[in-house]
Amino acid sequence: MSSHLKGRSFLAMFDFSSEEIAATLKTAREIKEKPGEFNTVLQGKTLAMIFQKPSLRTRVSFETGMTQLGGHAIYLSPTDISLGKRETTEDIAIVLSRYVDVIMARVFGHDIVVDLAKHATVPVINGLSDFEHPCQIMADFQTIIERKGRLDGLKCCYIGDGNNVAHSLMFGAARVGMNMTVITPKGYEPLEAVTKQASDVGSSTGSTITIANDLSAVEGADVLYTDVWASMGQEDEAAERKHVFAAYRIDAETMKRAKSDATILHCLPAHYGDEIDYDTSRLPNSAIFDQAENRLHAQKALLVHLAG
């Protein structure tokens, strides 16, 4: 597929313009509707998948996606590549570029994906870092469009920790003109620099970025989104966070404040009874499994545009 994105890396939501996000989402929709038309697009090409963190959705969706596009994926576990320890990130990027056509990395520090992209001569995709999770947000946007028909002008409320998912949602919302409210306990807000940057960009697209500490901010929401209270690497804070975040969940009471047809999203894995209760997760409003499926389609679209 001809694309002006070919050869580019995707490390953060701001790497793509609003038009580029829309084009990628259009391809994701086409791939989902007619997958057979894309099954040889990446024939003979290889994806290297670097993992510092364990994964269900990221590994299976990327590996399956590459196979369905006619290519091949290689899983590189933390014991296969000790980034920055057994070998420098620079050397790993240079060597992999001699072997493969695209690199995906799921890591802790965001500086790692930045360093990989700096030294690689093939596209690098951020499969997750502690700062951003852009692949997740592309799948989220595809899901919202399926449920609501658009992104611009909608009110999306994220409830929970101001983490990497919150950062990417804010950046992405700013790009596409969606209003974004992040609701967290005091002291757990997204980084101030992220809020400022997203707000600045949003001012040109009609997007309003808001930070709140009270669940009343979900009033009139079109989309309710949540994530685990303690991410990987924060296990020692889990007990404390469970206490601090106890009121910040999507449940029947929270749903009463949002629009009656508000779409429920969760990037999974879910801790039922904490950030969302099981019954709410199974309501007709819930799109959490459509959202998980769309990781496959959105990432196939990324692979097609960047490496096709």
The catalytic residue positions are 106, 133, 136, 227, 267, 295
Do the Cβ atoms of 3 and 304 come closer than 8 Å? yes
What are the E-state strand segments in the chain?
A: 46-51, 72-76, 102-106, 124-128, 155-159, 179-183, 209-212, 223-226, 263-266
Q: Which helix (H) or strand (E) holds 4?
A: none
Tokens of 306: 């960047």
Q: HSE (CB half, 13 Å, CA atoms) of 235?
A: 2
Q: How far is 28 from 21, CA to CA, in rounded Å?
A: 10
Q: How far is 72 from 176, CA to CA, in rounded Å?
A: 32
End-to-end CA distance of the chain: give it in Å, rounded.
6
Q: How far is 165 from 168, CA to CA, in rounded Å?
A: 5
DSSP 285: T
DSSP 88: -
Q: How far is 301 from 151, CA to CA, in rounded Å?
A: 18
Identify residue 268 by its one-letter amino acid code: L
Q: How far is 49 from 51, CA to CA, in rounded Å?
A: 6
Q: How far is 299 from 279, CA to CA, in rounded Å?
A: 29
